[in-house]
Amino acid sequence: MDNKSLASSRTRARETNWQAFFAGFLRNPQEVGSVIPSSRFLEQRILDAADLTEARLVVELGPGTGGTTQAILSSLPGDAKLLTIDMSNEFIDLLNENISDSRLINHLGSAADLSRILKEYNLSAPDAVISGIPFSTMPKEVGANVVKAVREELREKGRFVAYQFRGEVATITRPFMGEPVSSTEWRNVPPMRVYCWKKAVTNSQTSN
């Protein structure tokens, strides 16, 4: 395929994703939380925050129609794995149909069950968890359970990257993971805040 055909097939794929995403939003606005998928500028900002160059395992919470998933795969080492978790069976079906990559595992379920899902696939501590799930519209206790599971499962120095329009994710996560580094991506509809936490190293030395 020449460059022109490749570009127009990417544009068609993006348009299809926009339609599927908007249909998902109409079906379940609270759960989807956005009207259109993330822009490529936001995708790049998320990747910069997550620093996946040496990652072995990455978890994506809320892949939606898969734009962010493809961006993550494009910067993931060849022998790494990406586990996505989404509550929408339409989105999970779309990911399974549209993205053929042996590194990818798509799971239909809730991010709050992260610990059980990692065990189900026999996966160890992730190097990064990247989240687009809407913390502002979900019950507070579900949000807190998601963050507790992320904190529990991440490897030491692993990163939790969350992109959100509203600030609830930071309010919920601070008590568990401290103050985030954050920045705003204006070239997205709506402009999106990207938060990043690094899991602290626990001092395992014990006195005799």
Ligand X SMILES: C[S@@+](CC[C@H](N)C(=O)[O-])C[C@H]1O[C@@H](n2cnc3c(N)ncnc32)[C@H](O)[C@@H]1O
Judged on CB neighbours under 10 Å (0-12, 13-18, 19+), 175 is exposed
Distance of closest approach, residue 110 Cβ to ligand X, in angstroms: 4
Q: Is 38 in the site for ligand X (CB under 6 A)?
A: yes
Q: What are 45's two structure tokens? A: 């900002």
Distance of closest approach, residue 165 Cβ to ligand X, in angstroms: 9
CB of 57 or CB of 112, closer to ligand X: 112
Distance of closest approach, residue 80 Cβ to ligand X, in angstroms: 19
Q: Is 195 in the site for ligand X (CB under 6 A)?
A: no
CB of 68 or CB of 197, closer to ligand X: 68
Dihedral angle of Cα 33, 37, 43, 49, to the nearest 10 degrees:
0
Q: Is 33 in the site for ligand X (CB under 6 A)?
A: yes
**Cβ-based neighbour number of residue 35 at 10 Å:** 14
Distance of closest approach, residue 73 Cβ to ligand X, in angstroms: 13
- Bridge partners of residue 66, in order along the sequence: none
The CA distance from 84 to 76, in Å, is 14
Query: In the stretch 70-89, what mask flags binding to ligand X with x, by CB under 6 A?
Result: ---------------xxxx-
Distance of closest approach, residue 204 Cβ to ligand X, in angstroms: 32
Judged on CB neighbours under 10 Å (0-12, 13-18, 19+), 159 is buried
- Nearest CA-CA partner of 80 in 107, 62, 59, 108: 59
Choosing from 62, 126, 158, 180, the residue that interacts with ligand X (CB under 6 A) is 62
Distance of closest approach, residue 89 Cβ to ligand X, in angstroms: 10
Q: How far is CA 184 from the centre of its chain?
A: 17
User: What's the length of the chain?
Assistant: 208
CB of 87 or CB of 123, closer to ligand X: 87
Which parts of 87-146 interact with ligand X (CB under 6 A)?
87-88, 91, 110-112, 132-134
CB of 23 or CB of 200, closer to ligand X: 23
Q: Is 161 in the site for ligand X (CB under 6 A)?
A: no
**Cβ-based neighbour number of residue 9 at 10 Å:** 11
The CA distance from 100 to 50, in Å, is 23
* Residue ranges binding ligand X (CB under 6 A): 31-34, 37-38, 61-64, 67-68, 85-88, 91, 110-112, 132-134
